[in-house]
């Protein structure tokens, strides 16, 4: 069994861009393969806080790192025209030497759609729009002229060059029937919502060849640090649901058990907002255990 991939999940809110670069570089040094942010028009339940746009932030962080893959959990399809997104993705792919991944979904916070005038708002239409976007991305990334006549988009002899350096990986999250059809048809990675993890074994065949990833929040207790000093503030901020608290061996055991269930990638969301010291200790104590 191959070693799992560790990616840092770090929402780009309440952080300056220089602070994000510091954390990205620390993650790279600690052995993380990648880093992912979110994509919203305002931070959910925290609209008063600063937040940066996802793809622009990706570009900034790619420019300030050497090996770290940048992605998102996940871009909202309705926020961008697929022809624009196709061009943006290839630009980031070339600029970074192939270190960009495209995470995409059909939108999870419906209040954003009504607040900012984004459509469509029905779930059926949003997933249909995502299907058309994925078709168009594949067509435009081929470099050949394409015609497309869909419910939401119409393209006539549309062509974009350059093409991706190799293949831009696509990450799709969710467990709905139509979503799983899109995962099987288009995704390199299927991100399983943590609250649906108990369905992983039953749904795995529906994901086709896509590999499995999971995002989860952790309160990591480095060696020599009192557990209560880490756990108590994490519980106050985030409660108990889905929060994993542990030191080196507990987390190695946790990731090993998930790896045996077929999870290949872990998006690690730190309850202390990932200061460089936490990332360094996690790399030395947890990631290194899988080398």
Domains defined along the chain, listed by start: 5-290 (3.20.20.30)
Q: Tens digit of pLDDT for each residue in 67-93?
A: 999 999 999 999 999 999 999 999 999
Q: How many CA atoms lie within 13 A of 171 on its CB side?
A: 27
Q: Tens digit of pLDDT for each residue in 121-136?
A: 999 999 999 999 999 9
Series of mean pLDDT values for 10-residue runs along the chain (291 residues): 92 96 98 98 91 98 98 97 98 98 94 94 96 98 98 98 98 96 98 93 96 97 96 89 93 97 97 97 98 85
pLDDT of residue 38: 97
pLDDT of residue 45: 84
For residue 290, what are the contacts with CB-CB under 8 A and spacing of at least 6?
3, 4, 252, 255
Quickly tell me which residue has 């393209």 as its tokens. 155
pLDDT of residue 54: 98
Whole-angstrom distance, CA of residue 114 vs CA of residue 19: 32
């Amino acid at each position: 069994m191959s070693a799992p991939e560790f990616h840092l999940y770090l929402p780009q809110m309440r952080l300056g861009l220089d602070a994000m670069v510091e954390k990205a570089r620390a993650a790279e040094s600690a052995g993380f393969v990648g880093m992912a942010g979110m994509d919203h028009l305002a931070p959910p339940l925290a609209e008063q806080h600063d937040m940066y746009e996802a793809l622009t932030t990706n570009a900034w962080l790619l420019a300030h790192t050497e090996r770290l893959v940048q992605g998102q959990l996940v871009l909202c399809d309705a926020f961008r025209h697929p022809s624009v997104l196709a061009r943006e993705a290839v630009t980031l792919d070339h600029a970074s030497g192939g270190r960009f991944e495209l995470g995409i979904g059909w939108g999870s916070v419906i209040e954003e759609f009504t607040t900012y005038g984004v459509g469509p708002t029905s779930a059926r239409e949003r997933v249909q729009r995502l299907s058309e976007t994925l078709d168009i991305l594949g067509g435009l990334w081929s470099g050949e002229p394409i015609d497309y006549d869909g419910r939401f988009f119409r393209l006539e002899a549309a062509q974009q060059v350059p093409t991706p350096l190799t293949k831009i990986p696509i990450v799709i999250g969710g467990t709905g029937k139509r979503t799983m059809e899109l995962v099987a048809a288009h995704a390199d990675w299927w991100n399983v919502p943590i609250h649906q993890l108990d369905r992983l074994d039953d749904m795995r065949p529906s994901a086709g060849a896509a590999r499995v990833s999971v995002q989860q929040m952790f309160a990591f207790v480095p060696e020599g640090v009192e557990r209560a000093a880490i756990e108590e503030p994490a519980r106050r901020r985030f409660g108990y649901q889905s929060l994993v608290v542990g030191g080196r061996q507990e987390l190695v055991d946790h990731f090993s058990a998930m790896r045996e269930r077929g999870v290949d990638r872990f998006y690690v969301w730190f309850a202390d907002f990932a200061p460089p010291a936490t990332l360094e200790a996690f790399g030395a104590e947890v990631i290194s255990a899988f080398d």
